[in-house]
Amino acid sequence: MLTELKREAYEANLALQQHGLVQLTFGNASALDRRRGIFAIKPSGVPYARLTASDMVLVDLAGKKVEGDMKPSTDTPTHRRLYHGFKKIAGVVQSRSVHATAFAQAGLSIPIFGTTHADYFNGDIPITRKLTAMEIEDAYEASTGHIIIERFLADDLDPLDNPGILVNRRGPFAWGASAAKAVEAAVAIETIAHLAMMTMELAPRLKTIEPELHDKHFARKHGSNAYYGQP
User: Could you give the residue numbers annotated as active site?
Assistant: 119, 228
Q: Which of 166, 146, 181 is nearest to 8 (CA)?
A: 181
CB distance 171 to 26 below 8 Å:
no
Distance CA 127, CA 106 (A): 10
CB distance 163 to 121 below 8 Å:
yes
Q: Which of 149, 183, 167, 17 is nearest to 100 (CA)?
A: 167
